[in-house]
Amino acid sequence: MPTLTGFPRADGRKGIRNVVAVAYLVECAHFVAHEVTLAFRGEPVHLVGFPGCYPNAYADKVMRRLLTHPNVGAVLLVSLGCESFDKRGLEAEVAASGRPVYTLTIQERGGTRKTLNEGIEWVRWALAELDTQPRVPMRWDELVVATVCGGSDGTSGITANPAVGRAFDTLIARGAACIFEETGELVGCEFHMQRRAATPELGDEIVRCVAKAARYYETLGHGSFAPGNADGGLTTQEEKSLGAYAKSGDSPISGLIKPGDIPPTGGLYLLDVVPDGEVRFGFPNISDNAEIVELIACGAHLTLFTTGRGSVVGSAISPVIKVCANPDTYDRLADDMDVNAGRILRGDATLDQVGAEIVALVHDVGHGRETASEALGHREFILTYKAFEPIGPSCLPVRQATRAMPPLSSTRATP
Amino acid sequence: MTPATDARLLLLNPADNCLVACCALVAGETLLIDGEPVTLPRPVGMAHKLARRALAVGDKVLRYGAVIGSVQRPIARGEHIHTDNLGSDYLPTYTLQDGSKYVLTSHD
């Protein structure tokens, strides 16, 4: 089996990209941080950030995970100065991970122009530093692969999603950790998933977690069903769910994690994206990229994105491989797609063939091959307010036997 | 041997009472479902569903061998199954009416 290559990090993980992340810590610093990245068009300088001025433990955890993600090599923090984000804690976390990190506070630096110039100078230095780092061999069991679907139609659940499921089964057999998500899109699949759980206790947790999602969406009055889904032939939330569920393949479910939790071993993991407690900050994930960001916060090196109607998004930090379910959509949006799973519908390929094609592409992208969205320059990013309780004791039955999740240094207790 | 069904229709699970169209099908077209010819009363878009057998109000529609909702209006064999005759058992479905107005699907 061919091996992978990656950039070694101090925590033992390896990255398949070596990105300089420029992070704004409040919307008021967004423009300046964005201007810094514009000076490096075509280079691996990615913009991430959190827009809110009020503190949030979830956003704090996700930002710490993102900026110590194995695909990130160096970090520039851009602060306005009066926001509540714990920038010194974040800076210390990144520094402790062995990465170069620099914080620019606009109010102290003397405004937009001075901050911008200093930021550009630092990123130029960081890129030169990262340029000297060689790739080293990487094992499949060091790889974390995520999957999401967006712009689903009736073809998603019969071509791209089951093909990704086949790819997941192969990747898991090679030792990789694979993550599927959006419990709100798994309403109706809870008892199917319960039967696949590694332990009965984990199965019960999964059923509770989907019930929580159904309650949450009921309060909001909407599921994750968009009008385009119906145009594409999907009629109900549970029909969409079953199609989405096909992405998970046939492997046993090893654990249930929440945003920022890193799978402790290889195997299949379900990411619970629906907040705990009463409905507070609105919709759990307001768009597909919010889900992708959470998967990256769980350590995903790359994301398999299935689409029927035709999404064009990529992501900051981790590459997105787009698997197009609908052959007509592929014909219209071929430049944005990596895999044409719609061939299955026309009788030109089998699910197994497309699954093997996805695994081969994961290998190549792991070696540095650009995905379609990377080549086009897509680097979408969004992070909003949420609230989670830590996962329960039954959620990771395999944890004891294996490597521990890299700990976060003390995160401020915030609402 | 299972009775023949048109190759343009996909049976995802033997237990299913709906079939998925592999390409767009026009109204008035005659095709085989389980060995018997059926003339389509309505057009069926690619990846849309049609009834494998006649369905009554309250029947569960099965796809992937799993329930995807309850029948809200009688559905003839070969008829398009969609938001006007099938409802979720969990959450309401919203669609765009006339391509612009965001509305809750109603079966009243």
> How confident is the model over A231-262, as pLDDT tens digits?
889 999 889 889 999 999 999 999 999 999 99
Average confidence (pLDDT) over A352-364: 97
Between the alpha carbon of residue B30 and those of residues A400, B5, B26, B76, the distances in Å are: 60, 12, 9, 14
Tell which of B46, B67, B81 to mutate to test the A interface (max A CBs under 10 Å). Answer: B46
Q: Is A53 helix (H, G, I), strand (E, B) or coil?
A: coil
- Least confident stretch, A317-331, A354-368, A396-410, B60-74: A396-410
Q: Tell me, what's the pLDDT at B1?
A: 52
Looking at per-residue pLDDT, the higher value among B105 and B4 belongs to: B4
Looking at per-residue pLDDT, the higher value among B1 and A348 belongs to: A348
Q: Which of B22, B81, B90 sits opposite A237 (nearest CB)?
A: B90
Tell which of A193, A225, A236, A250 to mutate to test the B interface (max B CBs under 10 Å). Answer: A236
Structure tokens at A253: 């479910």
In B26-85, the residues whose Cβ lies within 8 Å of chain A are: 45-49, 63-64, 66-69, 81-83
Structure tokens at B84: 């006007």
User: At a CB cut-off of 8 Å and minimum separation 6, what does B108 contact?
Assistant: none
User: At a CB cut-off of 8 Å and minimum separation 6, what does A45 contact?
Assistant: A19, A20, A22, A36, A37, A123, A127
Write out chain A residues lying below 8 Å of B9, CB-based.
Answer: none
Amino acid, single-letter form, for residue A276: D
Task: Indicate if the pLDDT at residue A157 is higher than 70.
Answer: yes
| Residue A11 main-chain phi, psi, to 5 deg | -85, 5
Convert the pLDDT of each residue in A372-386 to its tens digit: 999 999 999 999 999
A93–chain B Cβ distance below 8 A for any pair: no
Distance between CA atoms of residues A180 and A165, nearest Å: 10
User: At a CB cut-off of 8 Å and minimum separation 6, what does A153 contact?
Assistant: A228, A229, A231, A232, A233, A234, A308, A309, A325, A326, B47
pTM listed for this prediction: 0.90
In A17-46, the residues whose Cβ lies within 8 Å of chain B are: none
B29 CA to chain A: closest CA distance, Å?
19
Structure tokens at A119: 């930021």
ipTM above 0.90, yes or no: no
Vertex A379: Cα angle to A374 and A385 (nearest 5): 150
Looking at per-residue pLDDT, the higher value among A97 and A219 belongs to: A97
User: At a CB cut-off of 8 Å and minimum separation 6, what does A61 contact?
Assistant: A259, A260, A297, A408, A411
Q: Do A197 and A207 touch, CB atoms closer than 8 A?
A: no
Q: Which ranges of A133-236 would DSSP assign to H, the alpha helix?
A: 160-173, 190-196, 200-220, 227-231
Tell which of A158, A239, A241 to mutate to test the B interface (max B CBs under 10 Å). Answer: A239
| Residue A213 main-chain phi, psi, to 5 deg | -65, -45
Average confidence (pLDDT) over B5-23: 92
Q: Which of A192, A239, A246 sits opposite B68 (nearest CB)?
A: A239
Structure tokens at A260: 């920022």
